Amino acid sequence: MSANREHFSSRLGFILAAAGSAVGIGNLVGFPVSATKNGGGAFLIVYALFVAFICLPVMMAEMAMGRKAQKDPYGAYKALSGGDKRWSIAGALSVLTPFMIAVFYMVITVWIFGYLAQTAMGNLDALANPNHFGQFINQSSVFWYMLLVGVIVNLILVGGVKEGIEKAAKFLMPSLFVLLIGLVVYVLTLDNAMAGVRYYIVPDFSKMDASVLNGALSQAFFSLSLGMGILMTYASYISKNDDIVGGAKMVALTDSLVAFIAGLMVLPAIFSFNPATNTDELSESSVSMIFEFLPKILLALQTDIGYLGASIVAFIFFLLVFFAAITSLVSIVEVPTAALMEEKCISRKKALLILAATTGLLTVLCTMSFGMVDWLTKFVSYGGADKSLFDLVYDVFYDTILPLNGLMVCLFVIYRWKKSNLNAELEQGCDKYKGSFGEKYVNFSLSTFIPVVLLVIFINTVATKFF
């Protein structure tokens, strides 16, 4: 391990930080709702299979690359390919992607923070108004919230790996878990809670079709923070004796468990609000779910526990989502930070300043693309519709480039870096991995069907989104 490279202080610190990255807005709201709409228990089973058999090998490959190279993703592709120029495109994409996803994630995190602040100020009734969200995202106050979120993220990152990222994760992740369990326990006591649980868990295999499968895999991929260079970067901060295989399993398990448990919070709340809810009415988009639908439900709790009680529950909910979002945001900004520090030989502070200025500017522009500024709102046109700058960033980087980055990781580790090196890195710190079924499976899957599946998703997205 390089002497002057920053490191996590322990394996637990690494796992918490990586799980902090994985557990995000997608887990808490997106996952439960898409599970309920798309076959309940049937979706849960398919999702779990995708995580175990497709995502986990990719996660292990990303982690192995990062730890072996002890570098940011750009440096890792360069070092492990022996300076092969062709792979520098993959390296560059795995830094550009998190940079751009940081922008879109920041926009949403700022809204969450705004809603958190407003529940703290006792404005839950205003939040529940159907027009509120549309007005809120076009008010100048969002820029103040943006400034505050930017300061929080930078205060964590300036502390570095051990004192910043790891300390924040050690506080935020257990807190998140306590808040989540607290809300689940409360929500399960509501009338009709069990109707929601039933919809969530009872399998309906008739809903399974190609688009549901595609959606489930994309969701799992994003949820585990794959294809963003994050796990490569975080794994470059762990010691050679740490067990990557076990670490990856823990991260995948924690992420999936939080997503599953979140369903026991969100769905009983929805069904208790309206026992006749038809799952077709549930919005697929996490954004409208969090900012338009859930505030209404949270406000309705006042008939049970009074306005103050409902406001406290709402505050806890937004705090939970905010904690989840902050640890994800930190992880994604750390990738370009590490890349700038290492590739340009500059200090962490300087790298953060450059990123604050550049991502800050883009975040402002994206925020203004929801109606504040006309040309940003109708920025481009493709797929038969006008798209805003925010839509463009989302469609290109989240929907399209993520599976492409995953594909490149598979091709790189198997055909360029070579299986034997991948295996040697994964065996280090995990003796029993050598020669195991898991090792054989990882080798087989990464060299055969996983890249094919990712390629199909990539082509399908390009064809349906942009043409």
Which segment (84-92, 207-215, 235-243, 326-334) binds ligand PHE by CB under 6 A? 326-334
399, 461 Cβ separation under 8 angstroms:
yes
Query: Burial of 237 by CB count in 10 Å (0-12 exposed, 13-18 middle, 19+ buried)?
Result: buried
CA distances from 357 to 18, 94, 143, 150, 341 (A): 26, 20, 14, 10, 16
Tell me: does residue 26 bind ligand PHE (CB under 6 A).
yes
| Smallest separation (angstroms) from ligand PHE to the CB of 415 | 27
Closest approach, Cβ 247 to ligand PHE, in A, equals 16
Residue span binding ligand PHE (CB under 6 A) among the ranges 21-29, 188-196, 238-246, 376-384: 21-29
Rounded to 5 degrees, what are φ and ψ at 259? Answer: -60, -45
Torsion of CA 234, 238, 241, 243, to 10 degrees: -30
Among 13, 20, 24, 150, binds ligand PHE (CB under 6 A): 24
Q: Does 254 bind ligand PHE (CB under 6 A)?
A: no
- In angstroms, the Cα distances linking 33 to 20, 69, 319 are 21, 39, 20
Distance from C-alpha of 15 to C-alpha of 232, rounded to nearest angstrom: 13
Shortest separation between residue 406's beta carbon and ligand PHE, angstroms: 14
Reduced to 3 states (helix: H, G, I; strand: E, B; else coil), residue 385 is strand
CB nearer ligand PHE, residue 101 or residue 454: 101
How many residues are there in the chain?
467
Cβ proximity to ligand PHE: between 105 and 370 the closer is: 105
Q: How many helices (H) and strands (E) does the chain have?
A: 26, 2
Using CB under 6 A, which of 15, 17, 18, 22 touches ligand PHE? Answer: 22
Please tell me whether residue 390 binds ligand PHE under the rule CB under 6 A. Answer: no
Nearest to ligand PHE of 332, 450 (CB atom): 332
Cβ-proximal residue to ligand PHE, closest one: 24
Q: Does residue 34 touch ligand PHE according to CB under 6 A?
A: no
- d(Cα 350, Cα 426) in Å, to the nearest integer? 34
Smallest gap from residue 193 Cβ to ligand PHE (A): 25
Nearer to ligand PHE, 255 or 425 (CB): 255
User: Does 326 interact with ligand PHE (rule: CB under 6 A)?
Assistant: no
By CB under 6 A, tell whether 105 contacts ligand PHE: yes
Is 27 an interacting residue with respect to ligand PHE (CB under 6 A)?
Answer: yes
Tokens of 235: 């794994």
**Interface segment toward ligand PHE; rule CB under 6 A; list 132-140, 315-323, 324-332, 409-417:** 324-332
- Choice between 119 and 328, CB closer to ligand PHE: 328
Distance CA 217, CA 119 (A): 34
Considering the rule CB under 6 A, would residue 233 count as an interface residue with ligand PHE? Answer: no
Q: Which is nearer to ligand PHE, 100 or 430 (CB)?
A: 100
Asked if residue 101 binds ligand PHE (CB under 6 A), the reply is: yes
Q: Contacts with ligand PHE: how many residues (CB under 6 A)?
A: 15
- Residue 364 CA to residue 393 CA, distance in Å, equals 13
Helix (H) or strand (E) segment spanning residue 20: helix 11-22
CA–CA distance, 185 with 180 (Å, rounded to integer):
9
> Would you tell me how many other CB atoms lie within 10 Å of the CB of residue 319?
17
- Kindly give, in sequence order, each residue whose CB lies less than 8 Å from that of residue 322, ignoring residues fewer than 6 positions away: 109, 112, 113, 116
User: Considering the rule CB under 6 A, would residue 405 count as an interface residue with ligand PHE?
Assistant: no
**Least distance (Å) from ligand PHE to the CB of residue 190?**
26
Residue closer to ligand PHE by CB (options 105, 199) is: 105
**Bridge partners, 380 (sequence order):** 387
Q: How far is the CB of 332 from ligand PHE (least distance, A)?
A: 4
Residue 459: φ, ψ to 5°: -65, -40
- Determine if 328 is a binding residue for ligand PHE (CB under 6 A): yes
Site string for ligand PHE, 201-230 (x = CB under 6 A): ---------------------xx-x----x
Helix, strand or coil, per DSSP, at residue 1: coil
Question: The tokens of 67 are what?
Answer: 């730890």
Shorter beta-carbon distance to ligand PHE: residue 223 or 272: 223
> Which C-beta is closer to ligand PHE: that of 256 or that of 331?
331
Among 17, 21, 68, 427, binds ligand PHE (CB under 6 A): 21
Which has the closest alpha carbon to 427: 240, 232, 230, 238?
A: 240
> What is the sign, positive or negative, of the torsion defined by CA atoms of 117, 98, 407, 18?
negative
Residues near ligand PHE (CB under 6 A) are 21-22, 24-27, 101, 105, 222-223, 225, 230, 328, 331-332
